[in-house]
A and B are shown apart, each in its own frame.
Chain A
Amino acid sequence: MKLPGMVGWAALAVAGVTCAGQESQDPAELRRRLSRALDRGDVAAVERELAGREADPTAGYLLAEAATLRGRTARADSLFGRVASAAGPLQAVAAARRIELLARSGPPGAAQAEADRLARRFETAGPATALDWMALGIAYQLLGAGNPAQFKDALAAFDRAIAADSSLTEANLRLGQLFLEKYNAPDARAAFAAALRRDPGNARAELGLAEVALFEGRPDTYSLVENAARSGPGLSRANAVLARMDLDAESFDSALARADRAIALDSTAERAWAIRGAVVLIRGDTAAFRAVERQVRARRRAPGGFFAEIAEALGRQRQYAAAARFAAEGVALAPDDPEVLTALGTNELRLGRIESGRARLDLAFAKDPYHVWNKNTLDLLDVLATYRTVSTARFQLVGAPEEIDLLVLHLGPLLERAYDSLAARYRYRPPTPVRIELYRRHADFSVRTVGLAGLGALGVSFGSVLAMDAPSAREVGAFNWGSTAWHELAHTFTLGMTDHQVPRWLSEGLSVLEERRARSGWGANATPLFLASLKGNQLNAVSRLNDGFVRPRRAHDVSLAYYQASLLCEYLETTFGFESILKLLGAFKVGATTAAAFQSGTGLPMAEVDRRFDTWLRARLAEPMKHLAAIRDSAMGIGELQMMIESGKRLKAANQIDQAIAAFERADGMFPDMADAESPAWFLAEIHRERGNPAKAIEYLARVTSLNDSHYRANRLEAELRTKQGDNRGALAALDRAVWISPYDVGMNQDAAVLAAKVGATDQAVRFRRAVAALNPSDRAGALYELAVAYRDAGDRAAARREVLRALEEAPSFEKAQALLLELRGSR
């Protein structure tokens, strides 16, 4: 959201205040005191101090800023106008501030014309003082709305103001805000930090730094904003930012109270009105929203930013269709406003309306070429244009042309199966086709999701549009693309059946639970960290479970919340039946609070659910909890378990194998559920394989692969050993798991096809043979021939004939293929 200009009372530090009749007071001290009062939003102190002195230019300017802070626009305009009409050090900056007010409420174009006049005056005469430079910066900033290149001029002017007078905190604050508006967090941070160095404790600088943290998604943002709000209790903006964060955390009551507090401080605070509007919309109160809209439009005829903020807030609540609808209303009012165009385009893309979304973003980017999200997204759309779409019965799979055929082979049937399974369970059928985009570069997926690179997630569901990393986007073993797709599709169900009103904890909890139900080994498992958190009573109560997702305090809070939420869903299903979950979802669909939803689903009050779930959880995890006793300091430091593993590794490296086995076995006994690449079970499997004891190795590998859905090497090794042992079914199962970690190895797919043929799994044999062909192997004719054989064995002679002809087209002399062709013709 574009941020309205901040007040400029720090200018008073330069201009001075004439305090007639109060000669006993030190004017410099008074200035400092009043500036600090305004920094805190303490308007009353300034008005009390300067009552009746409006005629004095400096006092008039301060009182105008005070009036601006409280949204008394007419009074501010009058006071600024008086200061601007008389020669003096504050004349230009008062004029600039008055034009800013005009831009917020006046007729379109009027402020631009005024800003242009002011800028021309300085361009002719040249600014003389730091305050003049700041006035010019403000004028350029306003002109930037029509000519984005002038934003750079504004930055330069603010820099000149700082160079002319380093004590001019206001110029630093404006610099910071402008950088933040243009998505340049590092420079914004530097500017706010400079302001704080010059004026320690400045609440607006603290708030600016907190907003940079919010932009960057730092987990400590909320406390930073709270600190700023404490430093500046009269700052409407601090309350508006907190309201936004409460809304994002799905704390709707709190968001509304904060927004109302912000509005009470400044009735023109468009952002606060937007949060209020978003909350009442989420609660389904359209009439209340229209009342909010009337309030806003009474002050501004085309409040594009208001609708943009509404749309962004709804988008963050995963209500993409509503977000697009309100953004479209904003575009109708302000068709040139890049913010609202961006909000509309972004949400259209989330809804799968790619062409329309792109057109909006193109337009927005033309208006604001500094918008890094739009730049990234438009670049991404160029990549997406090179992707190919392959359709199955209910899905459109979109991916890079070099791999989409391969990915569809595996993912297409999985998604169709998932759809049927989830539809039966949730008694709901999301609209089709569901679009799933598979990104070959993680950065592209990240941009698709949040507009910026660096997102840690693997997949996202916008409802009927899913996006995720293709398996090629990450290192082999980094994730399981099958379980990720299943997880995201589960969101499509829970979002769809609640009109996108499902809280984050429930949607994520059910998605993880559905992963676990889909396949053994998929979905999260108890980690030592989770168990230690449970033991130390550090997990969130059910009533605050959402905080783990939307307001994490520590980096690992989110992963703990995923697992805990999935266990809560498991608890509800096993204790109250799946019907209870359907009731919860139904309650959220009609806007129930969490407590009311639980009452509806379980018949219990929240506190009782909390208590009973805790008891159930401790019973559910009693076995691994027992092991935890042996792991000292397991949550944070290198505990006994880790020390034992390291010891085992050292002994193995020193070829002291018996001692290494003893160390690993001891570690394994401490926490048998550990199954990652550094787990004792994996090391023991390797040792037993090397020692020629495949049965024992398989025993450990089976445990690793049943607990960890992303251990590629373990699955490959298990397949190899089981094949040698003659356990073809077990080997095939291991390779079938490995495919969901990385499907790209030609040899693996060939081995799987051979195993499938041996055990009579003809459909699987065809799938793996098709995968080999899709991998464009060097022996393409051979791959097509083998595919033809697989089709023949599966009874699909027409497909067999088609493939053998393709093989022979590439290699006419291929005798085995010739024989198969004759065989197939002979049996027609």
Chain B
Amino acid sequence: MMAILGPLLLAVQTHLIVVTGLSGEPQYAASFAKLGAAIVDHAKARWGVRDSSLVYLAEDPGADAARITGRASRAAVLAAVGQIARVAANNDVVLILLVGHGSEQGEDARLNLPGPDLSAADLAQALTALSGQTVVVANTASASGGFLKALAGPRRVVITATKTGFERNATMFGDYFVKGLISDEADADKNGQASAAEAFQYAVREVARTYETAKRLLTEHAQLNDSDNGALARAVGFALTKDSAADDPRVAGLVAERRRLEAAIAELRGRKARTEPAGYERELEQLLVTLAETTQAIRRVQEKTP
């Protein structure tokens, strides 16, 4: 397991490519390594990512030999995309996380790697191999804004830590984005998954808060683009916990009812602005109580019949 495409409620396999680029200074090397380790460990434990579906490329593979699968060269990154394309089934989710320092020369946005840099155009070309999959690319590097437009395409969510190539200061976005993916802090709707959109919004908010607290001018403005006006980013979810009821045949009916109620609540919220407030509140409470009772019923069944 598994990423979840929310509206389709379709369980799919997740594949992960993590690339940490040139660090420049020991503090960044440590920070990049920490991020890489955290997401790799979580992906294996919570998303069920198999070794064949996981590539972790870093500046110094020897720094964490147990996790890192190779050196983060341009060629290795492009090869990794090809490798995942070979094992990924249609509709699977591929998460590509780029960490490091970036630069931009003219229109050419780059991630700084040992040897030749990885350009946005390089990656865009490589991603054509993943046309059957849902791809989430998060470039958390400085000056990463140029990747947004270059990588945009069908069934793609592209996230960058900066708006343009002019935002060249080291970013904080990656730390919070990864934290959003692997902890429940970003799970705003408490459904046990962090969607790409939730992790992004969480990171944006926390980055702003950190800068504000330090009385610093915000020098990174993260961006998100997806091919479905944000709906895809909201739909691609990464599991935080395992829902014991989802695959339990004893409560299948109740789970179906729960999904129906959740959908009804989502529909009601969608027409909130057009609904008379008292009526909205009444209907919402009714649905929420029924949903709560349904959840309670599921838990009771599960508790009684181990």
Q: Chain B residue with minimal CB distance to A775? A: B209
- Check: A813 CB closer than 8 A to any chain B CB: yes
A809 in contact with B269 (CB, 8 Å):
yes
Write the nearest CB–CB distance from B211 to chain A, whole angstroms.
Answer: 12
A781 in contact with B296 (CB, 8 Å):
no
- Check: B215 CB closer than 8 A to any chain A CB: yes
Return chain A residues, CB-CB under 8 Å to B215. Answer: 475
Q: For chain B, residues 122 to 151, give those with C-beta under 8 angstroms from any C-beta of chain A.
A: none
- Check: B288 CB closer than 8 A to any chain A CB: yes
Give the distance in Å from the alpha carbon of A781 to the alpha carbon of B292 in the complex: 15
Write the nearest CB–CB distance from A577 to chain B, whole angstroms.
Answer: 46
Write the nearest CB–CB distance from B245 to chain A, whole angstroms.
Answer: 11
A residues in contact (CB < 8 Å) with B:
475-476, 744-746, 776, 778-782, 805, 808-815, 817-819, 821-822, 825
Give the distance in Å from the alpha carbon of A821 to the alpha carbon of B289 in the complex: 7
- Check: B293 CB closer than 8 A to any chain A CB: yes
Starting from the known contacts A475-B215, A778-B202, A779-B184, 13 additional A-B residue pairs (CB-CB under 8 Å) come to A745-B213, A778-B188, A779-B186, A779-B188, A811-B188, A811-B189, A812-B189, A812-B261, A812-B266, A813-B189, A813-B190, A813-B262, A821-B288
A778 in contact with B288 (CB, 8 Å):
no
Return chain B residues, CB-CB under 8 Å to A776. Answer: 205
Return chain A residues, CB-CB under 8 Å to B192. Answer: 813
Return chain B residues, CB-CB under 8 Å to A744. Answer: 212-213
A780 in contact with B190 (CB, 8 Å):
no
Return chain A residues, CB-CB under 8 Å to B285. Answer: 805
B186 in contact with A778 (CB, 8 Å):
yes
Return chain B residues, CB-CB under 8 Å to A745. Answer: 213
Residues 75-98 of chain B, each 1 if its beta carbon lies under 8 Å from chain A, else 0: 000000000000000000000000
Write the nearest CB–CB distance from A635 to chain B, whole angstroms.
Answer: 32
A779-B185, A813-B191 known; A819 and B284 CB under 8 Å? no
Give the distance in Å from the alpha carbon of A781 to the alpha carbon of B188 in the complex: 6
Q: Chain B residue with minimal CB distance to A474? A: B215
A812 in contact with B205 (CB, 8 Å):
no
Give the distance in Å from the alpha carbon of A744 to the alpha carbon of B215 in the complex: 12
Give the distance in Å from the alpha carbon of A809 to the alpha carbon of B190 in the complex: 11
- Check: B254 CB closer than 8 A to any chain A CB: no
Q: Chain A residue with minimal CB distance to B292? A: A818
Residues 101-141 of chain B, each 1 if its beta carbon lies under 8 Å from chain A, else 0: 00000000000000000000000000000000000000000
A778-B188, A781-B189, A805-B284 known; A819 and B213 CB under 8 Å? no
Return chain B residues, CB-CB under 8 Å to A815. Answer: 190, 295
Give the distance in Å from the alpha carbon of A819 to the alpha carbon of B291 in the complex: 10
A778 in contact with B269 (CB, 8 Å):
no
A817 in contact with B296 (CB, 8 Å):
no
Give the distance in Å from the alpha carbon of A281 to the alpha carbon of B188 in the complex: 64
A810 in contact with B296 (CB, 8 Å):
no
Q: For chain B, residues 172 to 208, give those with C-beta under 8 angstroms from any C-beta of chain A.
A: 180, 184-192, 201-202, 205-206
Return chain A residues, CB-CB under 8 Å to B262. Answer: 812-813
Q: Show 24 residue pairs from A and B whose CB-CB distance is below 8 angstroms, ordered by the A residue.
A: A475-B215, A744-B212, A744-B213, A745-B213, A778-B188, A778-B201, A778-B205, A779-B188, A782-B190, A805-B281, A805-B288, A809-B288, A810-B188, A811-B191, A812-B189, A812-B261, A812-B266, A813-B189, A813-B190, A813-B262, A818-B288, A821-B288, A822-B289, A822-B292
A809-B269, A812-B265 known; A825 and B289 CB under 8 Å? yes
B206 in contact with A778 (CB, 8 Å):
yes
A818-B295, A819-B292, A821-B289 known; A811 and B190 CB under 8 Å? yes
A810 in contact with B189 (CB, 8 Å):
yes
Write the nearest CB–CB distance from B302 to chain A, whole angstroms.
Answer: 12
B188 in contact with A812 (CB, 8 Å):
no
Give the distance in Å from the alpha carbon of A384 to the alpha carbon of B192 in the complex: 42
Return chain A residues, CB-CB under 8 Å to B213. Answer: 476, 744-745
Q: For chain B, residues 269 to 299, give those with C-beta under 8 angstroms from any C-beta of chain A.
A: 269, 281, 284-285, 287-289, 291-293, 295-296
Return chain A residues, CB-CB under 8 Å to B185. Answer: 778-779
Give the distance in Å from the alpha carbon of A417 to the alpha carbon of B265 in the complex: 43
B residues in contact (CB < 8 Å) with A:
180, 184-192, 201-202, 205-206, 209, 212-213, 215, 261-262, 265-266, 269, 281, 284-285, 287-289, 291-293, 295-296
Give the distance in Å from the alpha carbon of A821 to the alpha carbon of B265 in the complex: 16
Q: Chain B residue with minimal CB distance to A811? A: B190
B190 in contact with A819 (CB, 8 Å):
no
- Cβ-closest 5 pairs across A and B: A818-B292, A814-B190, A811-B190, A811-B189, A813-B191
Q: Chain A residue with minimal CB distance to B285? A: A805
A778-B185, A781-B189 known; A812 and B291 CB under 8 Å? yes
Return chain B residues, CB-CB under 8 Å to A809. Answer: 269, 284, 288
Write the nearest CB–CB distance from B228 to chain A, whole angstroms.
Answer: 22
Q: Chain B residue with minimal CB distance to A822? A: B292
B288 in contact with A812 (CB, 8 Å):
yes
* Cβ-neighbour of B296 out of A476, A746, A814, A819 (below 8 A): A819
* Cβ-neighbour of B190 out of A475, A781, A805 (below 8 A): A781
Return chain B residues, CB-CB under 8 Å to A825. Answer: 289
Return chain B residues, CB-CB under 8 Å to A476. Answer: 213
Return chain B residues, CB-CB under 8 Å to A821. Answer: 288-289, 292
Give the distance in Å from the alpha carbon of A817 to the alpha carbon of B292 in the complex: 9
Return chain B residues, CB-CB under 8 Å to A778. Answer: 180, 185-186, 188, 201-202, 205-206
Give the distance in Å from the alpha carbon of A776 to the alpha carbon of B212 in the complex: 14
* Cβ-neighbour of A818 out of B189, B201, B206, B291 (below 8 A): B291
Give the distance in Å from the alpha carbon of A821 to the alpha carbon of B292 in the complex: 8
Q: Chain B residue with minimal CB distance to A745? A: B213
Give the distance in Å from the alpha carbon of A780 to the alpha carbon of B187 in the complex: 9
Give the distance in Å from the alpha carbon of A778 to the alpha carbon of B295 in the complex: 25
Write the nearest CB–CB distance from B60 to chain A, whole angstroms.
Answer: 31
Q: Chain A residue with minimal CB distance to B193? A: A813
Write the nearest CB–CB distance from B251 to chain A, whole angstroms.
Answer: 14
Give the distance in Å from the alpha carbon of A825 to the alpha carbon of B288 in the complex: 12
Give the distance in Å from the alpha carbon of A3 to the alpha carbon of B113 in the complex: 69
Return chain B residues, CB-CB under 8 Å to A810. Answer: 188-189
Q: Chain B residue with minimal CB distance to A475? A: B215
Give the distance in Å from the alpha carbon of A476 to the alpha carbon of B269 in the complex: 40
Return chain B residues, CB-CB under 8 Å to A779. Answer: 184-188
Give the distance in Å from the alpha carbon of A299 to the alpha carbon of B228 in the complex: 78
Write the nearest CB–CB distance from A33 to chain B, whole angstroms.
Answer: 61
Write the nearest CB–CB distance from A403 to chain B, whole angstroms.
Answer: 11
Q: Chain B residue with minimal CB distance to A809? A: B284
Return chain B residues, CB-CB under 8 Å to A780. Answer: 188
Write the nearest CB–CB distance from A171 to chain B, whole angstroms.
Answer: 46
Give the distance in Å from the alpha carbon of A813 to the alpha carbon of B243 in the complex: 12
A822 in contact with B191 (CB, 8 Å):
no
Give the distance in Å from the alpha carbon of A475 to the alpha carbon of B214 in the complex: 8
Write the nearest CB–CB distance from B120 to chain A, whole angstroms.
Answer: 29
Among A744, A814, A825: residue with most chain B CB under 10 A = A814
Q: Chain A residue with minimal CB distance to B180? A: A778
Give the distance in Å from the alpha carbon of A782 to the alpha carbon of B202 in the complex: 14
B296 in contact with A822 (CB, 8 Å):
yes
Among B185, B188, B269, B291: residue with most chain A CB under 10 A = B188
Return chain A residues, CB-CB under 8 Å to B202. Answer: 778
Return chain A residues, CB-CB under 8 Å to B187. Answer: 779, 811
Write the nearest CB–CB distance from B210 to chain A, whole angstroms.
Answer: 11
Q: Chain A residue with minimal CB distance to B258? A: A813
Write the nearest CB–CB distance from A453 to chain B, whole angstroms.
Answer: 17
Return chain A residues, CB-CB under 8 Å to B184. Answer: 779
Give the distance in Å from the alpha carbon of A746 to the alpha carbon of B184 in the complex: 16
Q: Chain A residue with minimal CB distance to B201? A: A778
Write the nearest CB–CB distance from B172 to chain A, whole angstroms.
Answer: 14
Return chain A residues, CB-CB under 8 Å to B265. Answer: 812
Give the distance in Å from the alpha carbon of A744 to the alpha carbon of B287 in the complex: 35
Give the distance in Å from the alpha carbon of A817 to the alpha carbon of B261 in the complex: 16
Give the distance in Å from the alpha carbon of A810 to the alpha carbon of B186 in the complex: 13
Write the nearest CB–CB distance from B147 to chain A, whole angstroms.
Answer: 25
Give the distance in Å from the alpha carbon of A809 to the alpha carbon of B285 in the complex: 9
Q: Chain B residue with minimal CB distance to A472? A: B212
Q: Chain A residue with minimal CB distance to B272? A: A809
Give the distance in Å from the alpha carbon of A818 to the alpha carbon of B261 in the complex: 13
